[in-house]
Structures are given as C-alpha cells and as structure tokens.
Amino acid sequence: MLTAFDAFVLGIVEGITEFLPISSTGHLVLASNLLNISQTEFTKSFDIAIQLGAILSVVVLYWKSIFLDYKVIQKILMAFIPTAVLGVIFYKIIKGFLLENDRVIVYSLLIGGIILILFELWHKEKESHVSEISQMSFKQAMLIGLFQSFAMIPGVSRSAATIIGGLILGIKRKTIVEFSFLLAAPTMFAATAFDLFKSGGSFTLPEFKTMLVGFFVSFIVAILAIKFLLSFIKNHTFILFGVYRIVLALVFIFFILK
C-alpha cells in the first residue's frame, strides 16, 4: 500500500525530475521499485497525477505566456496535438505494458543518455536560430510535438525529447527549454484528466488524500527545479545529465534488475 511517506518521497522525485532531461516517469517507477511499492491501478495513476503537481508550477511561473500571449498559445496547442492523438491511441499499451516493464525504462534511460551526450557533442547553436517562442513556425511546433511523443515510452524523458527536437529544428537552448516547460502544461493535464476519467472512480478517499500529498510536494520542488535548470543552461550543456542517465541505468542493470 502507498503510504503518506511514500507519497512524500515520490513527490520529491517527481518535482526534481519532471523538467530535467532524465525521465520523471522512469524515476518514479524505479523509486517505487526501491520502496517496494507494488504497481497497482492506483499507483500508476498516482505517478501520472503527481506530475500534474509539477506542471502546476509552470502555470504559476509562466501564467502570462500560457493565458495572455496568443502567439505562444497557438504554438503550444499545435505542439500538443500530436501527443494527444498518439496518447489516446496507445494508452492501453503504455499503461498496461510499458509502465510495468522495468527493463524498458532502464534501457530507455541508458540509450537516451548516450544519445544526449552524442547530440551535445555534435550540436552547435547559431546566432540565426530562433530566440523567441512567438517566432517559431507552426511546422516547428508540430514537429516538436512529434518529438515529445517519443516520451510515451517510459524512461525516454519528455523534456529531453522536446529539447533535442527543438535544438535540431534550429531553436535556441533557452527558448526550447522554456517551450518544453509550457508544453508540459496541456500535455500532463490532459494525461492526468484522461487517466482519472478511465480509473479515478475506483479510488477511495484515503487514496485521494495520499495523492494530494504527492501533488503538493511535487509542486513546491518543481518550482525550485525549473529555476535551477534555467540557471544551469546558461553555462552548461546537457552532457552531465546524459552521464547521470547512463550511470543510473547501469546501477539498475547490474545490481537491482534480476
């Protein structure tokens, strides 16, 4: 059974990892493994719902862009459409198979880490690259949404997929990082609402209270994580995160997975 302490720990894990290119879903599933939390319908929904807590931090920090900047709103919606369509199509596969497969998560972390390092060694940002979200084309926004869809595979990382996609498409690092934050809002809200619509009616009141603990903890921690990442990218690439992903994956492969 998921306790309030478990929810607190998982809320911290979610808040830290949601916006870093290291896969929050992968960390939540692996953390649940270490805490001996069995994967039930509630725990799977809990993992999705507390991501909404982290996403709320984006709404608080970027509410003007989300609600008042029409050009930015258009780009967010355009990027959201591919993930929404593919998410509905593959919902049963994602929740019924991929989220239960630790090996899929671990190897996604490993391969993603290698790709992140190789990409950063190859990528060179140019002065001509897009520096404002409002300057992005609708084609660029839609393609970023397609890149985000790869994150339906647990362990890939939604932020890593969107950021790498944006950099490939000629968008400056700070701009695509902020767009990744903003795109998370409709993406995770829709995922949570859809999942709760499918299974929320079966949850008890204590389970909803436990979910709220994780929700609020992830919200607070995510605000700090966003500010950290914006400061970090001023002088660093994502190679360090790639190395972390590889080390974490190898630890699980050699010492935990049987």
pLDDT at residue number 43: 79
CA distances (Å), 84 to each of 87, 149, 152, 158, 194, in order?
A: 5, 9, 11, 13, 10
pLDDT per position as a tens digit, 62-101: 988 887 888 999 999 999 998 888 877 766 666 655 666 7
Model confidence at 144, pLDDT cuts 50, 70, 90, reads very high
Q: Which amino acid is at 18?
A: E
On whether the CB atoms of residues 86 and 152 are closer than 8 A, the answer is yes
pLDDT at residue number 36: 87
Please give the model's pTM, rounded to 2 decimal places.
Answer: 0.85
SS3 181: helix
Torsion of CA 193, 156, 102, 213, to 10 degrees: -40
pLDDT per position as a tens digit, 188-234: 777 777 766 766 556 778 888 888 999 999 999 999 999 999 999 98
Non-local (6+) Cβ contacts of 125 within 8 A are 167, 172, 173
What proportion of the chain, given as a percentage, has pLDDT over 90?
48
Most distant CA pair in the chain, distance: 54
pLDDT at residue number 202: 65
In this structure, of 33-37, 111-115, 164-168, 246-250, the range with the lowest mean pLDDT score is 33-37
On whether the CB atoms of residues 36 and 46 are closer than 8 A, the answer is no
Hey, which residues does 130 pair with through a beta bridge? 171
Place of tokens 């701009």: 175
Query: Is residue 155's pLDDT more than 90?
Result: no
The DSSP result for 36-89, as a single string, is T----HHHHHHHHHHHHHHHHHHHHHSHHHHHT-HHHHHHHHHHHHHHHHHHHH
The DSSP result for 125-140, as a single string, is --TTSB-SGGGS-HHH
On whether the CB atoms of residues 28 and 157 are closer than 8 A, the answer is no
